[in-house]
Structure 1
Amino acid sequence: MLSLTDMLNRESSPLVPSTEERPSASKLRHGSSPDPPGTPPATTMVRTAKRPAEDLSQYAQSVARKKRLCPEDSDELVSYTKLSRGEKDIWMASTLWSIQGTVSQLQAPDAQWDLPSTLKKKIDIYSAVVILSHTISAYVSDEVPRKLLFEILEIHPSWGYKPEVKENPYKYNMMVSFISSKLTARRYTTKKLIAESIGTTSEDPGEVKRVGADDILILCEKLATNVFKAAKIIVTVPMCARVAFLRLVYVGSPDAGDKFWDIVDKKIKEFRVKFSNDKQKISRKFAKILSQDRTVYGDVDVDYMLVSARMNPAQCESENVHAGIGGAPINGAEQGAQD
């Protein structure tokens, strides 16, 4: 499409004089009588003279200022005023077609979608179960908790995480955002309760036991109640060992701040490398940490107190999925998680 400047600068065709013979005055008076012999025919050149168009440049500049047009658009508007009527029609038509083409390429956003209430409830429950798991390999690294939670949800499409949700970028991103926010909240509460559980150092230099601290069983019960009560998490000995490990890292990294969970992940990785990922050796290491925790924060016989403790169905399913043996609901996990 020609710009306004191109249209104004192009060469216009010269006027062609008319050779039409107009009747002489005598013919007008005497009809069609021929002129006397020897009288040359009267020929008149006809030109169609246009009245000069009104200069609207100043008005265009005034309008451009009022509409706050950019300099380029202001110049374009001034150039438009100098076009002929036909050129203006062509310019307007081409502009409308350009707008129509742009509009036709626009895509309306997906209709507003929200996670089904059942799906939200499951994410609430399993986000707590995952963060308080005693076998989780990382708390923030490689998005391990989020991936684990997605795996669990995918096993149960009836909860709302169906293929059409997974394959829709808009809906999937909403899922990611919702799950991430829940996991962040669970980690925050866990760290906060651990920080509040450590008490203070005894005034007696020879006393290793801290004053006003929560023993490991009390701490774990607080976590089960406050991280997300509706998850109905059952405190077990392995859970106590993992929480004792978290408390040890917290006390050993007083300035960790927002990097606390990164440090935890690093320590877990070091254990796995040191013990060649041998589950029994790693388990014995955590058992030793639990024993040390009881010495410092309060001696409680968790082996006796929790001898009959069994994980609830949601906890069982989470552990199995993380171990790579997940599949169908285990021991009524789907029904149990709905309570």
Structure 2
Amino acid sequence: MATSPTPAPHPSPATITGVLQTSLQPIPSLQSRRPLQREGAFVFLSAAEQDMEDAMMRSSPPPEPVLGKRTRQADGSADGNDTEPDDGLPSTMQSQLLPSISNVASATARYVSKKKLRPEQRDEVDVFLLDTALGRQAKLFACILSLENKVDTFRSAAPPYQLSDELKTNITNYGIAVLLSVNVSAYKGNIPRNHVLDILKKYRFDLPTGIEHDYANWEKISTFVGYSLTQTRARVKKLIKDSIKTNTNIFSLAQVIVHSTPCRTTIQLCSRVALMRQVHAECNGGEKYWNLIDTRLEFIRTRAGSSASKTARAFNNILKVDRATYGAEEEYAIGDTIPDEWQQRVDDVVAGTDIV
């Protein structure tokens, strides 16, 4: 007779509770599980652990530089927060590159000897080198003020300005060139005088620097320019009057007018002189002589307008009539030459194309 199997014994409640606690505990992953190691064996770290260890071993980054300062670890400093100027070079190298006071003194002594300073001046230089930076600046400022006082004293003691003979000669020559320029619009008044003054401002000659801003001295020059132009007009008027009496041809008359000046006797210049002689013959050289010439110039400009060819034809006709009236029997030729560089500069200033 078969026997029935013996049923398994039921586990006790304590056994069941232990099994449940064991099953609920987390099972370690394969990556975090540590193998058993012997003493002194090398431990291989995971990638995450290696990153954390590298971060812990890494030193703290230095703080950002502020206002040209950089941090350094000072000798004997507890916190290491001392600062020094960020010159780009260590302090030891700076001290090696900076010249010592003895080297500066030696170089200065050689330079002082080259400039041949007096003994008391050399002593002042030595004291200056040993002074502080603020002290040297104060001394330099005091020297500047002393120089200003000396300049003011020199100016007050200087004699009044007088025109030199060379300047007077230049004014006379340029005055003739202005009056005979093909671009001049008037022979009297401020127009020719201002042209000469513009030439003086441009080429200076022996004018002191900035004298045009000194009203009193510039007035002396302006007055002489006006006087020189008056004398030139009087001389030209007399020569024209004499040429009418002596029946002098226009070329010879023009040569006498520009004598001892750089002006050339060109066709343009002779035509201007012919206009002066034409008006003189009409008014017999009265008191309004130059005013009448200015009126005739204005008439030509008005009728010609902006046409240079019409102006040239007007003056060529005046020259043709003059040659037929004075010295017609004489044979002479007026060269068709262009003005030289000297006269051309004057013409450019008078025309306003050469800005002063």
Shorter-chain TM-score category? 0.5 to 0.7
Note the C-alpha offset of 1:258: 2.5
- Give, as a single letter, the amino acid of the residue that structure 1 aligns with 2:222: V
Distance 1:110 1:249, change over 3 A: farther
> 8 Å contact 1:129–1:314 — kept in the other structure?
no
Amino acid at match of 2:272: R
Deviation at 1:160, TM superposition (A): 3.1
The equivalent of 2:281 in structure 1 is: 251
Aligned-partner Cα distance in 2 for 1:117–1:214: 33
Contact 2:254 2:265 in 1 (8 A): yes
Which of 261, 265, 288 aligns to 1:235? It is 265
| Distance in 1, Cα, partners of 2:331 & 2:345 | 27
Whether 1:260 aligns to 2:289 is: yes
Gaps of 5+ in 1: 1-107, 200-211, 329-339
Q: Which runs of 5+ in 2 are unaligned?
A: 1-155
Shift of 1:117: 4.0
Report how many aligned residue pairs link the two structures.
200
Alignment partner, residue 141 of structure 2: none
Are 1:217 and 2:247 an aligned pair? no
Q: Which residue of 2 aligns with 1:112?
A: 160
Cα separation, 2, equivalents of 1:294 and 1:305: 11
Query: How far, CA to CA, are the matches of 1:291 and 1:109 in structure 2?
Result: 60
* 1:336 aligned partner: none
CA shift digits 1:138-192 (9 cap, x unpaired): 0004x111111111111123x1345521111110110011111111111111111
> Structure 1 175/287 Cα, relative in aligned 2: closer, same or farther at 3 Å?
same
Distance in 1 of aligned mates of 2:191 and 2:209: 21
Provide the C-alpha distance between the structure 1 equivalents of 2:267 and 2:341, rounded to a whole number of angstroms: 17
Counting only pairs closer than 5 Å after superposition, residues 1-339 of structure 1 correspond to structure 2 as: 111-141=159-189, 143-157=190-204, 159-162=205-208, 164-199=210-245, 212-225=246-259, 229=260, 231-254=261-284, 257-299=286-328, 304-307=333-336, 309-326=337-354
Could you tell me whether the CA contact under 8 Å between 1:234 and 1:312 is conserved in 2? yes
Taking structure 1 as the reference length, the TM-score comes to: 0.55
Change (3 A) 1:272 1:109: farther
Q: Is the 8 A contact 2:262 2:342 kept in 1?
A: no
The CA distance in 2 between the partners of 1:144 and 1:180, in whole Å, is: 11
Q: Quick check: which has more Rg, 1 or 2?
A: 2
Matched to 2:273, the amino acid is V
Give the aligned residue type for 2:252: I
The CA RMSD over aligned residues, in Å, is: 2.3
Q: Structure 1 residue 131: deviation in Å?
A: 1.8
Q: How many angstroms apart in 1 are the aligned matches of 2:202 and 2:227?
A: 22
Partner Cα distance (1:262, 1:237) in 2: 24
8 Å contact 2:193–2:225 — kept in the other structure?
yes
Identity of aligned residues (%): 26
Quote the Cα distance in structure 1 between the aligned partners of 2:223 and 2:157: 18
> Aligned in 2, Cα 1:306/1:219: closer, same or farther, shift over 3 Å?
same
- The separation in 1 between residues aligned to 2:182 and 2:355, in whole angstroms, is 20
**C-alpha contact 1:198 1:214 (8 A) present in aligned 2:** yes
Q: Provide the secondary structure at the position in 2 that maps to 1:133.
A: coil
Cα shift at 1:325: 1.8
Instruction: Name the amino acid aligned to 1:120.
Output: K
**CA distance in 2: counterparts of 1:310 and 1:194, whole angstroms:** 24
| CA apart distance, 1:250 | 0.5
Q: Describe the shift of the 1:272–1:110 C-alpha distance in structure 2 as closer, same or farther (beyond 3 A).
A: farther
